């Protein structure tokens, strides 16, 4: 059991139209931990993401963030501590990429000067400086994804006295090529370090195995395994959940499990 978790899901369930999209999800995420959620299409990953980000309220159970039920948080307080990156953004107005990133400072009243300084810093870290003045609408899918990541990082860039910070990412690598996928996950891990807790939904098992501290595998709306990547990435489990015969070997470079199909 994790003591004093940043994020805690207890018996979380979500029913709609007579179907259980999620049931009995229990998870505790410790401070500074990076937890990846994996599962096949339709396993309930997005439903889980929406419920734990507070967009949908759960039918059963509760989501606790930093010692308080999510429902007891005001939107403003929550936004100062927690950033959420959606799968894709529907921004169709020609904001400069830099302005999009700057919007991450909206919940804070740290003053224009400091906000600008943070944006500059984040743009370097995320390698989006060259996009700063480009219109968001003119960017490629991968570039947009990086700008959105920069925006959510900007939002929780600084420690806040009122609580512990959390970053929720919904398939942040979906529009990226292989090298950018690795870069993005590496970046998230480095930037967040031990200061920001991360929960990320990923499609790619190997990405989860390499970058996450712990992995939760979903199947038909239920959690079938939670644990260190080596415990969860088992051929029998993967075959049962993904219907694919695989072998799991040790990654020759990083030592993490490597799923080979």
Partner 1 sequence: MVLNQYAGMRSQLFVVRLPGASAPGFLFMALRNLPPYNSQLIFVRDLTDMFHSRPLVFHCLLLMLLMASVGLSLSLGSITVPVAELVDVVVGRLVGEAITGTADMVVWQIRMPRVCLAVLVGACLAVSGAMVQGLFRNPLADPSLIGVSGGAAVGAAIAIVLGGTWGWFSPSWNLPLFAFFGGALVTALVYRLGVGPLGTSVATMLLAGVAINAMTSACISYLATTAEDVRLRNLVYWLMGSFNVASWEKVSWVAPFALLSLVMIPLLWKGLNALLLGESEARHLGIQVERLRLKVIVLAALAVGVSVASVGVIGFVGLVVPHIVRLVLGPDHRWLLPGSALLGAALLSLADLAARLVVEPQELPVGVLTAALGAPFFLFLVVQRRRGQLYGV
Phi then psi dihedrals of residue 38, to 5 deg: -125, 165
Q: Which of residues 228-257 bind partner 1 (CB under 8 A)?
A: none
136 neighbors 100 (Cβ within 8 angstroms): yes
Number of C-beta neighbours around residue 11 at 10 A: 12
Nearer to partner 1, 168 or 187 (CB): 168
Planar angle of CA 66, 70, 72, nearest 5 degrees: 100
**Least CB distance to partner 1 at residue 78 (A):** 7
CA-wise closest residue to 173 among 163, 161, 183: 183
Q: How far apart are CA 30 and CA 197, in angstroms?
A: 7
At its nearest, how many Å lie between partner 1 and the CB of residue 193?
Answer: 22
- Determine the Cα angle at 26 with ends 230 and 242, to 5°: 50
41-100 residues near partner 1, rule: CB under 8 A: 53-55, 75-76, 78-80, 82-84, 86, 89-96, 99-100
DSSP tag of 76: H
Find the shortest distance in angstroms from Cβ 133 to partner 1: 8
CB closer to partner 1 out of 24 and 142: 142
Q: How far is the CB of 243 from partner 1 (least distance, A)?
A: 28
* Interface with partner 1 (CB under 8 A), residue from 26, 69, 106, 111: 106
Distance CA 86, CA 171 (A): 8
Number of residues written out for the chain: 261
Does position 203 interact with partner 1 (CB under 8 A)? The reply is no
Tokens for 21, please give them. 């999209």
Spell out, one character per residue from 124 to 143, where the chain touches partner 1: x when CB under 8 A holds, - when not: -----------x-xx-----
CB closer to partner 1 out of 38 and 85: 85
> At closest approach, how far in Å is the CB of 40 from partner 1?
22
By rule CB under 8 A, what count of residues binds partner 1?
Answer: 30
CB 209 within 8 A of CB 257: yes
**Interacting residue ranges for partner 1, rule: CB under 8 A:** 53-55, 75-76, 78-80, 82-84, 86, 89-96, 99-100, 103-104, 106-107, 135, 137-138, 155
């Amino acid at each position: 059991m994790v003591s004093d978790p940043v994020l805690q899901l207890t018996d979380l369930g979500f029913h709609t139209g007579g179907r259980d999209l999620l049931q009995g999800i229990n998870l505790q995420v410790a401070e500074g931990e990076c937890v990846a959620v994996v599962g096949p299409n339709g396993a309930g990953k997005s439903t889980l993401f929406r419920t734990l980000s507070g967009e949908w309220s759960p039918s059963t159970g509760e989501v606790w963030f930093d010692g308080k039920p999510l429902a007891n948080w005001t939107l403003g307080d929550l936004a100062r501590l927690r950033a959420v990156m959606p799968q894709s953004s529907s921004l169709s107005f020609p904001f400069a990429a830099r302005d999009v990133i700057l919007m991450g400072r909206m919940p804070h009243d740290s003053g224009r000067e400091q906000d600008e300084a943070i944006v500059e810093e984040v743009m370097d870290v995320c390698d989006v400086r060259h996009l700063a003045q480009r219109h968001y609408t003119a960017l490629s899918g991968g570039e947009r994804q990086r700008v959105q990541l920069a925006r959510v990082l900007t939002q929780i860039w600084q420690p806040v006295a009122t609580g512990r910070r959390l970053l929720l990412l919904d398939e942040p690598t979906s529009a990226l090529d292989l090298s950018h996928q690795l870069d993005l996950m590496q970046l998230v891990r480095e930037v967040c370090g031990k200061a920001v807790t991360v929960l990320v939904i990923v499609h790619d098992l190997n990405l989860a195995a390499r970058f996450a501290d712990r992995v939760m595998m979903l199947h038909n709306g239920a959690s079938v395994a939670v644990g260190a990547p080596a415990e969860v990435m088992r051929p029998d489990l993967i075959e049962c959940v993904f219907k694919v015969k695989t072998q799991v070997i040790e990654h020759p470079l990083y030592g993490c499990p490597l799923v080979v199909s």
